[in-house]
């Protein structure tokens, strides 16, 4: 039997968004909780994902803001003119990440959760060995265990893939090359293509499919694609990488079309997978299917006292989903307030340039479910007032997908500045079952972009 001070009601593996939420909520319900983390506290979102990426998006946006300034009467006085120094931005971002890491450590202490540094692995269904460096492993024992270790970027199985960067690596760079190839067409690839271009890097983006952002409303995705191309990002759709060769700073990427793309760096943004290495799940009897941990609606694995939340389950890999799963688990298990997370209506955003945000069904998904005659689509395209004086694009797209039978809004989509902020509020209405008539009855806030959602004809 382990020493008494190493016995807990709950041991959480992973101090990312889901693990932190579960640990703090369980402790608030009176449980004795330990959380195990071999990296910094905060997980993908805080350390190498949402937060630093969004800061880089803000930094990259200044390129167009400064370019538009003269049209509003702001004449640059600097000599030489202002220029971008990515090294300053990257260092500032790392400093903010360090600050947030410290805050999360403090939040755990305030909540009464013990942080156990090191990498944990199962010894049996109730015991965890935590290894930190060369120190003897610490043994933790718990009535219940929660796996919340998140995911890691994946690399395609091509020769030379080790020469390329993954998204985690970008945040550790001190300088950026003059030219880069971004491989991938998902949201991470599109976001970094926009960031790098905004920071002055010449970007080619390799997309294996016919368009970017597969799974999103196709009209919205194509609107983003057209705008990215108009900004100067060279999109190469229908091509796959076959090999990477060369030396750091001078790489050559070969594609299945026979092309050879030369660049100072290659970013492989080809997806993420659950980070299960080293957990020794077989010792606990936890089943793994397709590289992920399957769970039921209560986040329970095949072992009744072992649960999993967040990206290790590989369902909807978004920070707010992981947080809600963690809190729902803790409320149900330790708070006598059983509840399940609703995964059916989850808003999401792509912080590309321009930004895309959505909630509900895409036009394609709605047609598949209700038939072409079972839906109506309302849309508005226009140049936003902010760009009226600079006289440039891209156009904003706002789109409602509506059930023909009862007028219920099935999907709400937007491409343009502040799309995520606007769709977050629209998600409340869609979640409550609002109809197109409800949108029409809502008084417009003029002049704004969002007013178009309540003034669309029909």
- Say if residue 210 is exposed, middle or buried (CB neighbours under 10 Å; 0-12, 13-18, 19+): exposed
pLDDT at position 31 is 98
Phi-psi label, residue 43: left if phi above 0, alpha if psi -120 to 50, beta otherwise: left
What domains can you pick out in the chain, each with its CATH number?
A: 4-56+86-152+273-334 (3.50.50.60), 161-270 (3.50.50.60), 354-455 (3.30.390.30)
Q: What is the pLDDT of residues 320-365, one digit of tens each?
A: 999 999 999 999 999 999 999 999 999 999 999 999 999 999 999 9
CB 149 within 8 A of CB 35: no
Strands of 96-229, DSSP E: 114-117, 119-124, 127-131, 138-147, 151-153, 179-183, 202-207
User: Is 254 noted as a catalytic residue in this protein?
Assistant: no
Q: Give the mean pLDDT of 147-172.
A: 97
Task: Evaluate whether 315 touches 348 at the Cβ level (below 8 Å).
Answer: no
pLDDT of 33: 98
pLDDT band at 458 (very low <50, low <70, confident <90, very high): low
- Rounded to the nearest integer, the mean pLDDT of the chain is 96
pLDDT tens digits for range 17-37: 999 999 999 999 999 999 999
Which pLDDT band holds residue 5 (cuts at 50, 70, 90)?
low
457 or 142, greater pLDDT: 142
Q: Which of 126, 254, 307, 446 is catalytic?
A: 446
pLDDT tens across 278-313, in order? 999 999 999 999 999 999 999 999 999 999 999 999
Please report the pLDDT score of residue 77 as a whole number.
77
213-225 pLDDT, tens digit each: 999 999 999 999 9
| Predicted pLDDT of residue 75 | 85
In 3D, which of 303, 59, 264, 58 has the Cα closest to residue 180? 264
Based on DSSP, count helices (H) and strands (E) in the chain, helices before strands.
13, 21
Where helices occur in 211-358 by DSSP H, the ranges are: 218-231, 281-284, 319-334
Q: What per-residue confidence (pLDDT) applies to 83?
A: 83
């Amino acid at each position: 039997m382990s020493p008494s001070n190493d016995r807990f009601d709950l041991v959480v593996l992973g101090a990312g968004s889901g693990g932190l939420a579960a640990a703090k909520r369980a402790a608030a319900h009176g449980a004795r909780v330990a959380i195990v983390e071999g990296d910094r506290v905060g997980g993908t979102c805080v350390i190498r994902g949402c937060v630093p990426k969004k800061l880089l998006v803000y930094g990259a946006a200044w390129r167009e803001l400064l370019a538009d300034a003269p049209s509003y009467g702001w004449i640059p006085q600097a000599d030489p003119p202002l220029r971008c120094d990515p090294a300053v931005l990257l260092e500032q971002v790392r400093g903010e990440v360090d600050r947030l890491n410290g805050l999360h450590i403090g939040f755990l202490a305030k909540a009464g959760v013990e942080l156990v540094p090191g990498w944990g692995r199962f010894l049996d269904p109730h015991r965890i060995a935590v290894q930190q460096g060369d120190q003897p492993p610490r043994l933790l024992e718990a009535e219940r265990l929660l796996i919340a270790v998140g995911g890691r970027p994946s690399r395609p199985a091509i020769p030379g893939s080790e020469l390329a960067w993954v998204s985690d690596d970008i945040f550790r760079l001190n300088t950026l090359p003059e030219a880069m190839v971004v491989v991938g067409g998902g949201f991470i690839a599109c976001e970094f293509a926009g960031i790098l271009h905004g920071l002055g890097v010449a970007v080619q983006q390799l997309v294996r499919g016919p368009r970017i952002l597969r799974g999103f409303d196709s009209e919205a995705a194509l609107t983003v694609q057209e705008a990215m191309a108009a900004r100067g990002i060279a999109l190469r759709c229908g091509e796959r990488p076959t090999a990477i060769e060369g030396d750091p700073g001078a790489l050559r990427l070969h594609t299945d079309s026979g092309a050879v793309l030369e660049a100072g760096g290659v970013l492989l943004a080809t997806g993420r997978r659950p980070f299960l290495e080293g957990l020794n799940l077989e010792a606990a009897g936890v089943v793994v299917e397709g590289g992920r941990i399957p769970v039921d609606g209560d986040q329970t694995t095949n072992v009744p006292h072992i649960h999993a939340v967040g990206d290790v389950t590989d369902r909807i890999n978004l920070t707010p989903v992981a947080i809600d799963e963690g809190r729902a688990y803790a409320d149900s298990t330790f708070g006598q307030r059983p509840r399940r997370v609703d995964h059916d209506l989850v808003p999401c955003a792509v912080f590309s340039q321009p930004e895309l945000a959505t909630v509900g069904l895409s036009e394609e998904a709605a047609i598949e479910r209700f038939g072409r005659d079972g839906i109506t689509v309302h849309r508005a395209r226009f140049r936003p007032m902010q760009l009226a004086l600079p006289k440039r694009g891209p156009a904003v797209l706002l789109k409602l997908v509506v059930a023909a039978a009862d007028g219920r809004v099935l999907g709400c989509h937007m491409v343009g500045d502040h799309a995520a902020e606007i769709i977050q509020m629209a998600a409340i209405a869609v979640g409550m079952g609002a109809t197109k008539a409800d949108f029409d009855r809502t008084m417009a806030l003029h002049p704004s972009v969002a007013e178009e959602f309540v003034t669309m004809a029909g």
